[in-house]
A and B are shown apart, each in its own frame.
Chain A
Amino acid sequence: AQSVAQPEDQVNVAEGNPLTVKCTYSVSGNPYLFWYVQYPNRGLQFLLKYITGDNLVKGSYGFEAEFNKSQTSFHLKKPSALVSDSALYFCAVRDIYGGATNKLIFGTGTLLAVQP
């Protein structure tokens, strides 16, 4: 069965420190992977995606993610956290049984709290 796991419900980091939000996946074949961010009382916003090519993907707001096929991981990273990065982060993978649709399977989300 296809799945996405975000093992940490919450990640706490001090402003200025590097941050990592973890994501592992379980799908057959080549995964299409996405990160979204949700600010309070807002919808999800797209951050970045991995489809093919370089394992290090750069996205919005200074975020990047590293695709690791051997570890089936797609961790989200940022070199220096900002208080404004505090939000709920979702990892998602394309549903390979969705055919030509854009069906996604989402993780349960990780709350990032950046302390000043």
Chain B
Amino acid sequence: NAGVTQTPKFQVLKTGQSMTLQCAQDMNHEYMSWYRQDPGMGLRLIHYSVGAGITDQGEVPNGYNVSRSTTEDFPLRLLSAAPSQTSVYFCASSYRGSNQPQHFGDGTRLSIL
């Protein structure tokens, strides 16, 4: 069982560069989401999706785009990287339903210079 797979695990970017963080799940989960984790701030929701073709903004969406063309994949795009986007990014998935636990990938550690 692969679960939730995130690539790459580490990335260093220069300010202004763009990149895509990949997330894939093999559990046929309807719900997928992206969080960023910063010291002392817990996890903050960036974007989420309740199914293929449906996405919405979370708490901190600025500077990020998402799309959901398939149930399995939910990539996160940084349009023009800024040092404030240095963080650890986690993708999560679950069955739809607010009592469902979420399954997390192991994260992408991103540094913006």
Contact = CB atoms under 8 A, between A and B. Distances in A.
Contacts of A43: 4, 90, 92, 104-107
A51 B104 contact: no
Select the residue from A42, A44, A100 with max chain B CB neighbours within 10 A: A44
Interface in B18-66: 31, 33, 35, 40-45, 48, 50, 56, 58
Select the residue from A45, A106, A107 with max chain B CB neighbours within 10 A: A106
B104 A100 contact: no
Contacts of A49: 99, 101
* A interface, over-half SS: loop
B71 interface: no
A98 interface: yes
A32 B99 contact: yes
A103 B45 contact: yes
Given A102-B31, A102-B96, A102-B100, A90 B48 contact: no
A46 B90 CA distance: 14
Contacts of A34: 101
Interface size, A (range): 20 to 34
Interface in A38-97: 41-46, 49, 51, 90, 94
A102 B94 contact: yes
Nearest to B3: A43
Given A43-B106, A101-B50, A90 B98 contact: no
Interface of B: 4, 31, 33, 35, 40-45, 48, 50, 56, 58, 90, 92, 94, 96-107
Given A51-B99, A101-B50, A103-B33, 14 more contacts: A32-B98, A41-B107, A43-B4, A43-B92, A44-B43, A46-B102, A94-B99, A101-B31, A101-B56, A101-B98, A103-B58, A103-B98, A104-B45, A106-B44
11 contacts: A9-B40, A34-B101, A44-B90, A90-B43, A101-B50, A102-B94, A102-B97, A104-B43, A106-B44, A107-B42, A108-B41
